[in-house]
Structure 1
Amino acid sequence: MIRAAEILFADHGIDGVGVRQIARAAGSANSNVVAYHFGGKEELAAAVILHRLPPIEARRAELLKASEGWPLSIVGLLDILYRPLVEQTDEQGMRSYARFLAGIGRSGGMAVRSALSVYFPVTQQLIDALRSAMPDATRPSFDARLQVAAAMIHMTIAMMDDGSEGRVRVPDFNDLMSMAAAALAAPMTDDNKRCTASGGCATEEATP
């Protein structure tokens, strides 16, 4: 049932799937089987996370240990966080957990993942290190920026299984990490600043 839920949540999000659909995909004619074993869809999504994340946490710990003695940049920290998602594949060779995260992210279900952070201290350590590596001016917006960057990363990793999205070339992993790092550390803007595509920001003249 966990495997069936992972696939369905990846494709439709948490809100886009019914318990009857999950039960049927798991080979059960009893629509109450989800409630009996898990309680509800959010609890089932949490079970998917608790099933997939321990080996990913162990791989992050391994990569972090291998980096000891090297100053970790934002790109380096993102690499440790997300390389295990690229490496993870299911029996069909698909990066199923990244697809699952992309799916629940689209439906606003990432609070389920956040609630389980206490069980994965290495992942939380990396997130805290990312926050500290941010430019001072952008640190207050870190949570929102990370949420947006994570959505981009999860979706792009999922696209890697398909080879492309329409006619758009999918970035490789190293390019993706550079793009995400740039998004995280991009200069803050406000109503008095105008930023151009070249990366420069200029203060706008006040309009009378």
Structure 2
Amino acid sequence: PEADTRGRLLDAAEKLFAANGIGATSLRAVTAEAKANLASIHYHFGSKDALLFEVFARRIKPVNARRLTLLGAVERDTPGDLSAIVRAFVSPALELLSRPEMGGRNVTVLIGRLYTEPMQIRLEILTMFEEVATRFTAAISASLPHLDPVELFWRFHFMVGSMAFPMVAGDIVEARARQIGEVSDVDKNIDRLVRFISGGLAAPATEDDAVSKEDQGED
């Protein structure tokens, strides 16, 4: 069935893109891994860039849907709870690490590889995060009214970076953790990350921004 062929192509592309790199993986290699013919790639996706987009979309869209569901619950039940907002953002992504049926490590490796791709491809994939970024920025802003939009912009992106590094460099982080006798635990690391990010987000505004806000108030 065509749906099975499409799924096999996505599985094969995800595996090979992660293992060998996106640029180093040919469409012929993908079809060989998927036991499909080359025409099937063009039928289902049209191009390699479109295939790459769909590889990301099938993993990222469920994560983002889960984030928005959790955020909706926070806004309904405990509005303004910063730790709960942060947890709603980071936990669906970090849980990928322990869920191979959702792509697991392949997805996190691919996220790292994405930064070597042309800007246009990166921008297209980043559009998948626009609603999440808008909703979470608004929720954090409501919880932390002392932050102006510029400070909030940077802190949101620092949050993303703090979450992304242990995902894309997971093997390195886990190897170093073993050196101190630590066995990586996803749930425990989510708790650590929520505490760390929440503390950073809630810190006093950067001095220049605080002065700027005071100046605006004096006008």
Q: What TM-score, normalized to structure 2?
A: 0.60
- 2:14 is aligned, of 6, 13, 27, to 6
Identical columns (%): 23
Q: Size of the alignment, in residue pairs?
A: 186
Give the drift of 1:127.
3.8
Distance 1:178 1:10, change over 3 A: farther
Give the match's secondary structure for 1:167.
Answer: helix
Equivalences for residues 70-149 of structure 1 within 5 A: 70-88=78-96, 89-91=99-101, 94=104, 96-105=106-115, 107=117, 110-117=122-129, 121=131, 124-130=134-140, 133=143, 139-140=149-150, 142-143=152-153, 146-149=156-159
* In 2: Cα distance, 1:144 partner to 1:16 partner: 34
Greater percentage in helix = 2
TM-score, normalised to structure 1, is 0.62
Task: Report if aligned partners of 2:59, 2:103 keep a CA contact under 8 Å in 1.
Answer: no
Pick one of 177, 189, 199 that aligns with 2:194.
177
Distance 1:17 1:63, change over 3 A: same
What residue number does 2:214 align with? none
Amino acid at match of 2:51: L
Residue 166 of structure 2 contacts residue 173 of structure 2 at CA under 8 Å; is this kept in 1? no
Q: Deviations over 1:18-61 (max 9, x none)?
A: 4333333333463x653443233332222123322443344224
Q: Is the 8 A contact 2:90 2:190 kept in 1?
A: no
- State which of 35, 41, 45 in structure 2 corresponds to 1:38: 45
- Tell me which amino acid in the other structure corresponds to 2:49: E
Residue 165 (structure 1) aligns with: 174
Question: What 5-or-longer segments of structure 2 have no aligned partner?
Answer: 1-8, 209-219
* Structure 1 stretches lacking a partner, 5+ long: 191-208
Contact 1:104–1:110, Cα closer than 8 Å, also in 2 = yes
Amino acid at match of 1:116: M
Which is richer in strand?
A: 1
- CA drift at 1:145: 5.0
TM superposition outliers: structure 1 runs of 4+ over 6 Å: none
